Amino acid sequence: MQDRELLQSALGLAPPWRVVRSEFDAARRRLDIHLDFAAGSRFACASCGAACPAYDTEEASWRHLNFFQHEAYLHARVPRVECKSCGIKRIAVPWARSGSGFTLLFEALVMALVQAMPVRAAARLVGEHDTRLWRIIHHYVDKARAAADFSDVHRVGVDETAVRRGYQYVSLFVDLDRSRILFATPGKDADTLEAFAQDLRSHRGDPKAITDLCCDMSPAFIKGAAASLPNAAITFDKFHLVKLINDALDEVRRNEQRAVPDLKATRHLWLRNPTTLSPLQAERLEILNPSKSHLKTARAYRIRLAFQDLYKQPAQAAERYLKRWYFWATHSRLPPIITAARAIKRNWHGVLRWFDARISNGILEGLNSLVQAAKAKARGYRSYRNLCAIIYLLAGKLQFGLPT
């Protein structure tokens, strides 16, 4: 088999395209493959698909998958056709998308790489500048998101994640029933809910069809939900509620350790659940005797454990249990605990709604590991758009339809 026949077969070319010659430069470690078509060939019009003769041609090149360890490029005259119905149109070549300097298979390789490593690392591996790889990522992510259908989305969770120092955040909206990121947008204010509602409409979804929203007790999220998701009942995320109590407990400990040096370096003993402590940590906590100690920190610790037990109560007993806990917390004479308890009281119905909806942002917390990986993969990203694209790529469960 001659080299032209071998390359034609390997590239999977169909008539009228054929390999006319190839050039291998060992010094530059590069293979150039030249394609052409026979005179009189007819091509499909890009608009109507009618077979039309070539009107004129323009030279073009595309980076292809490496030939062994050597870079490979395809070169061809790309014709414009003269269609009787549509006029003069440039054809689409079968090995590359319009406007791209890469073949479809090269782009498929890039999309696989950026799911496994930072974009800059993938760029170094393939020998291209990372800005060119970002163009590929945006093309396929935008195309896949445009085709995404959110018409069956009814239960949504929202949470923010810090992306840079200086209070810069991205708010993430997750489909609680399918564990996928629906929308990512800069900020964490009420406008993010309106942005989500608009994005939902553009993907055949309906903001009025959202029946449940899980979030933290952010006033901005509450306000935004009332305006943009009018039929959504809010359930406050139990992980954020427990964190609220944990933060209050830690503030009590930090204030008390000035007078009780034994409390220094014990933060994790009080904030972790007893069953997750190591044997050494459990022994140290037992010495502090939290069940009987008169330490303020120990009292806050018992209140914290009691709040967590709220979620073990049967639904019919939950409100009665929470009322008793609230009375205990507000009479504890521990200002941080009292402040946290009053925050619970202000959002009473959203706290108790968990017993009806049984939803939380635990799914989002699980996806957060993918988001953290996304931040690593977008290391050095130049815009929020880059970061959001990687988040969709890793956690959006999008269908890209890439060639194999």
CA–CA gap between residue 188 and residue 244 (Å, rounded): 18
Side chain identity at residue 194, one-letter code: E
381: confidence class by pLDDT, cuts 50, 70, 90? low
For the chain, give the mean pLDDT: 91
Domain ranges for the chain: 1-101, 102-237+360-404, 238-357
Assign 263 to helix, strand or coil: helix
Closest CA to 204 of 147, 132, 142: 147
- Please answer whether residues 110 and 136 qualify as being in contact, where contact means their C-beta atoms are separated by less than 8 angstroms: yes
Closest CA to 224 of 179, 273, 171: 171
CA–CA gap between residue 169 and residue 380 (Å, rounded): 16
| Maximum CA extent, the chain | 96
CATH architecture of 102-237+360-404: 2-Layer Sandwich (3.30)
Q: What pLDDT, in 10s, does the model give residues 117-148?
A: 888 889 999 999 999 999 999 999 999 999 99
pLDDT at residue 280 is higher than 80? yes
364: confidence class by pLDDT, cuts 50, 70, 90? confident
Distances in Å between the Cα of 278 and the Cα atoms of 142, 269, 281, 284, 357 are: 47, 10, 5, 10, 34
Dihedral pair phi/psi, residue 266, rounded to 5°: -115, 10
- Please answer whether residues 13 and 35 qualify as being in contact, where contact means their C-beta atoms are separated by less than 8 angstroms: yes
CA–CA gap between residue 79 and residue 90 (Å, rounded): 6
- Please answer whether residues 181 and 391 qualify as being in contact, where contact means their C-beta atoms are separated by less than 8 angstroms: yes
CA–CA gap between residue 21 and residue 5 (Å, rounded): 10
Q: What pLDDT, in 10s, does the model give residues 47-71?
A: 888 899 899 999 999 999 999 989 9
